Amino acid sequence: MNFLAHLFLAGDNDGLRVGALLGDFVRGKKSLERFPDDVRTGIELHRHIDGHIDALPDVVNLRRCFPEPFRRYSGIIIDLAFDRELAIAWDKYSETSLEDFDQGVRELLTRYDELVPDRLRRFMIYADRRGLFAAYRNESEMLCSLKGIGKRLSRPNPLHRVDEIWQDLAPRFSASFEFIFLQVQSDVSAWLKSRSISTGS
């Protein structure tokens, strides 16, 4: 799952939502010590979700559909594709419009500005410029985001060429998203319940 899905799964708990955003920018256990408890839990939840979804049989099978040389980067592509599927079906999952949710994320980061690393701040500037997360509904925007990710990776990669395989894979993403997302939602609920934490959703 990418930013939008992680934010949604964190529910209405501000600390969990901040942690959901920080999850890709904070490494190791030692680094968690400087964060408030709820934000730390949000980062741990982000990591748990990533590990859980990678192990789901449906995701494993989906990755096998990728031709070389894209298969090595299938996790990144699936993350963005599922964010797009969530954006498209947003009204099915939330009573808040995606545009209002989007604005709420900006306001949340303003309140927690002292915890926001420069890399996340730069991403949010990019997100504001591109109209993310609502713009993920557009295939062209998602492909543009994948190209951007590819440019930031240290080694040569085919993420700038995902349009070559997209038409073949897009129906598979659409067909598998709802079932996979329901599994992840159920797992997140159980994970949070085991820690006596409510997402408010």
Confidence (pLDDT) at 199:
58
pLDDT of residue 1: 80
| 200 pLDDT tier (thresholds 50, 70, 90) | low
- For residue 201, being part of any structural domain is answered with no
Q: What percent of the chain has pLDDT over 70?
A: 98
Residue 47 lies inside a defined structural domain of this protein: yes
Number of domains in the chain: 1
Over residues 185-192, the mean pLDDT reads 96
**198, part of any domain:** no
pLDDT tens for residues 62-103? Answer: 999 999 999 999 999 999 999 999 999 999 999 999 999 999
**Is this model's pTM higher than 0.85 or not?**
yes
Q: Given this model, what pLDDT does residue 130 score? A: 86
DSSP string, 123-188: HHHHHHHHTTTGGGGSHHHHHHHHHHHHHHSSS--SGGGTHHHHHHHHHHHHHHHHHHHHHHHHHH
Give the relative orientation of helices 74-88 and 163-193 as an angle to the nearest 10 degrees. Answer: 80
The pLDDT, as a whole number, for residue 198 is 63
Domain that holds residue 51: 3-193
* Closest by Cα among 15, 73, 24, 77 to 46: 24
Q: Is residue 71 part of a domain?
A: yes
**pLDDT > 90: what percent of the chain?**
88
Tell whether 199 is covered by a domain. no
Q: Tell me: the pLDDT tens digits for 23-44?
A: 999 988 888 999 999 999 999 9
